[in-house]
Amino acid sequence: MAEVLVLAEHAGGDVKKVTFELLTLARTLGEPAAVAIGEVSDDVVASLAAGGADTIYVANGAEYADHVVAPKVSALQAALAASGAVGILVPATAEGKEIAARLAVRTGAGIITDAVGVDAGFVAQQSVFGGSTLVHSVVTTGTPIIAVRPNSVAAEQYPGAARRIDLDVTVADIDRAATVTDRVAQERAGRPELTEAAIVVSGGRGVGSPEGFSVIESLADSLGAAVGASRAATDAGWYPHQFQVGQTGKTVSPQLYIANGISGAIQHRAGMQTSKMIIAVNKDAEAPIFDLVDFGVVGDLHTVLPQLTEEVTRRRG
């Protein structure tokens, strides 16, 4: 069976969950093969094998982190050449999409981004216009490159054949032109990344103040969730902008999305409507968010959430 390449996301020796999701998806399309680029430890290779990769293409080198995406494009292209793969899946993260974009220019193949599923024959499912429209798209030229959103499929552990192949990659000088000179990490309080998290707890206008976000954060921490915010909350300066969920912010597609004090304007829905399950707490019974919910509470988030947090903590023991 022909190989399907999965661009692995890993950091500090840990393979990110989305990689296992994509390996699971790749198994439905062909023979899953992972491409690991950067500082690839034996732990990373072992995780990819346990996650279902029959072949693991390795482009090992610390210098891949020193330049913006272009050298990784060369490595992924080398894996494509070595494998003769029939399709390439990348995580629909900022960097994953940039790598895919440049690879598409180099290979002349079509690219589809933000797929929420991929059917036989590499037919991608996309959810567009704030989740109001479902689209089936195909690549019509070349080996399809499809960027798939995290949480689109449930990862299954499926021990693969785990054949390791080290790639011989030539990186052109022009691909080293943008150099990373420093990395600055900002406090994230140990929470999962917003776009990858299985559960997201968000706050909006109804939170009322920067201090009000402590009830959002407490609930998130009791569930092991990421924290998000609506544009109303970030525009008001109550929560940092990088946590904004919506049309001009991040798009999330978690297993569970809990919207608190968020009315559900199209601006926000565009960023969260593909969530598998949606819960909302809002004082306004007429808020459009209640049209989306699996479960909703009409009430004050400042009383409902602390009670919920306490219950979650108690039941999780």
Stretch binding another protein (CB under 8 A), from 23-31, 83-91, 149-157, 172-180: 172-180
CB of 35 to another protein, least distance (A): 18
Q: Tell whether residue 218 is a contact of another protein (CB under 8 A).
A: no
CB of 166 to another protein, least distance (A): 25
Q: Are 103 and 77 in contact (CB under 8 A)?
A: yes
- Interface residue with another protein, options 27, 57, 181, 214 (CB under 8 A): 181
Calpha distance 15→45 (Å, rounded): 9
Sole residue written with tokens 């000179």: 181
Q: Tell whether residue 118 is a contact of another protein (CB under 8 A).
A: no
Q: Tell whether residue 106 is a contact of another protein (CB under 8 A).
A: yes
- Interface residue with another protein, options 178, 209, 214, 284 (CB under 8 A): 178
Closer Cβ to another protein, 166 or 310, answer by number? 310
Q: Tell whether residue 77 is a contact of another protein (CB under 8 A).
A: no
Q: Tell whether residue 266 is a contact of another protein (CB under 8 A).
A: yes
Q: Are 275 and 200 in contact (CB under 8 A)?
A: yes
Stretch binding another protein (CB under 8 A), from 47-55, 153-161, 200-208, 298-306: 298-306
Closest alpha carbon to 142 in 179, 186, 181, 112: 112
Q: Tell whether residue 10 is a contact of another protein (CB under 8 A).
A: no
Q: Are 226 and 197 in contact (CB under 8 A)?
A: yes
Q: Tell whether residue 114 is a contact of another protein (CB under 8 A).
A: yes
- Interface residue with another protein, options 51, 102, 167, 171 (CB under 8 A): 102
In Å, how far are 177, 218, 285, 297, 312 from 221, measured between CA atoms? 41, 5, 27, 20, 10
Interacting positions 19-58 with another protein (CB under 8 A): none
Angle subtended by helix axes 94-107 and 70-83, to nearest 10 = 60
**Residue 123 is inside which H or E element, if any?**
strand 123-128
